[in-house]
Structure formats: structure tokens, C-alpha cells
């Protein structure tokens, strides 16, 4: 956990150093900074599995990268666009995929360990619904931020000319949530069982 926390803090500091727009950086980074602070403050009372922490850390690295450059200008996204022969920088799609992956295992672990929700289809769909709701909340916040900014920062946070951007972003989060559960649920359950056996 100490290594993950150190990487998180270092990534946040690097990301905050000379961003394209500090207002944009703050708008994009604030939610993940709050999550990181919340996890640190509650660590003595509740520790998540290593898998959940790892995926949340990966998600934070994606967010900090997008916040530093703005999602429309991340170099990796430019390279992907050239390779794929498209005009749009799709790095934000990676971010929204992780917006489904990491929260899915976060919500799933909370439901299993704190609420006692049993494994099965109901858990799968409840977690998907929570992740889709979270993605929709961020799209609503992004929309309001864009209305307040009236400028290039709003466009960097927003659609890049894609009128279906919000729907595509939510779809990516849903795909990420479903894929994370399909491929990682058993591994998470083994880690949860190990935590319970120690406790």
C-alpha cells in the first residue's frame, strides 16, 4: 500500500506540473484526488484487496495523464489516431474504459464485504448499474463545466466535435465494468477469501 500511495502522490505532482490548463487539470483530477484521500483516511479501518488498489492506481494514472495534457491532446492518443487513421484523439475512451474497470471492482468488493451481497448475476448487474450511474454523473458534471467555461478548456474536457461523445463514454464505462467482472471477479473473490481468513 505504501508503494501504491507513493506512486499516486508522485503521479499527481508530475501531472500538476505545467499542465495545459490548471483549471482543466483541477476539474479532471479533483475526483480521483478525493478518492485517494478517502482511501488513505479509511485505510486503518478497512483495507481493500490488492487487486482493487492496483486497478484504482492504474485508473488514477490514466486520469492524471489526461488531466495534464487534456484528454484531447495526450500524445499516446495522437499516436493511436495516426495508427488507426482517425482524426479524433481517443485517449479519453481509455479513461472511460477504466472508469468502468476500477470502480466495478471497488463497488463489487464493498458490496461483498460490507453488505454481504452474494455472488451471481444480481451482483454483476448491480455493479454494472452503479458504474453506469457514475459514468452518467461525470458526463453531467462535464456538461455543466463546459457551460461555465465557454472556451477551449471546455472543448478539451468535452466531445472534440463528437455529438455522441457522452453516450460513447458511458458505453466504454459499461464495457469496462462488465469486462472487469467477467475476467477478474474470481481473482478478487480469492483475495477477499484470503482477507477473511486472516481476519
Q: What share of the chain is helix, strand, coil (3-state, %, to 5)?
A: 80, 0, 20
Q: How many domains are there within the chain?
A: 1
Up-side HSE of residue 77: CA atoms within 13 Å toward CB? 19
Residue 94 lies in a domain: yes
Q: What is the mean pLDDT of residues 90-117?
A: 95
Structure confidence at residue 143 (pLDDT): 79
Residue 16 lies in a domain: no
Residue 14 lies in a domain: no
Cell of 98: 477504466
Residue 76 lies in a domain: yes
Question: What value, to the nearest 5°, has the Cα angle with vertex 155 and ends 29 and 97?
Answer: 55
Residue 162 lies in a domain: yes
Q: Which range in 34-48, 64-78, 79-93 is most confidently predicted, on average pLDDT?
A: 34-48
Residue 55 lies in a domain: yes
pTM to 2 decimals?
A: 0.90
Question: What value, to the nearest 5°, has the Cα angle with vertex 95 and ends 147 and 158?
Answer: 20
Residue 42 lies in a domain: yes
What's the domain range around 63? 2-9+21-198
In the structure, what pLDDT confidence band is assigned to residue 110 with cuts at 50, 70 and 90? very high
Cell of 154: 471546455
* CA dist., res. 6 & res. 149, Å (int): 33
Question: What value, to the nearest 5°, has the Cα angle with vertex 119 and ends 117 and 125?
Answer: 85
The pLDDT tens digits for 154-196 are 454 555 667 788 899 999 999 999 999 999 999 999 999 998 7
The pLDDT tens digits for 179-190 are 999 999 999 999
Residue 124 lies in a domain: yes
**Site of grid cell 453488505:** 115
In the structure, what pLDDT confidence band is assigned to residue 70 with cuts at 50, 70 and 90? confident
Amino acid at each position: 500500500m505504501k508503494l501504491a500511495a507513493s506512486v499516486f502522490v508522485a503521479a499527481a505532482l508530475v501531472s500538476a506540473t505545467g499542465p495545459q490548463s490548471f483549471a482543466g487539470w483541477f476539474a479532471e483530477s479533483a475526483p480521483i484526488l478525493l478518492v485517494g484521500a478517502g482511501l488513505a483516511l479509511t485505510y486503518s479501518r478497512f483495507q481493500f484487496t490488492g487487486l482493487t488498489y492496483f486497478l484504482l492506481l492504474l485508473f488514477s494514472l490514466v486520469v492524471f495523464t489526461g488531466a495534464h495534457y487534456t484528454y484531447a491532446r495526450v500524445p499516446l492518443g495522437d499516436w493511436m489516431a495516426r495508427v488507426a487513421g482517425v482524426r479524433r484523439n481517443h485517449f479519453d475512451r481509455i479513461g472511460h474504459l477504466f472508469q468502468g474497470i476500477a470502480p466495478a471492482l471497488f463497488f463489487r468488493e464493498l458490496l461483498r464485504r460490507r453488505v454481504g451481497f452474494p455472488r451471481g448475476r444480481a451482483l454483476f448487474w448491480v455493479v454494472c448499474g452503479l458504474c453506469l450511474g457514475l459514468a452518467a454523473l461525470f458526463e453531467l458534471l462535464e456538461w455543466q463545466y463546459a457551460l461555465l467555461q465557454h472556451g477551449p478548456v471546455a472543448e478539451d474536457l468535452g466531445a472534440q466535435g463528437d455529438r455522441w461523445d457522452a453516450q460513447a463514454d458511458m458505453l466504454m464505462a459499461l464495457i469496462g465494468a462488465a469486462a472487469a467482472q467477467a475476467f477478474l471477479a474470481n481473482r478478487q473473490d480469492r483475495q477477499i477469501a484470503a482477507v477473511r481468513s486472516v481476519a
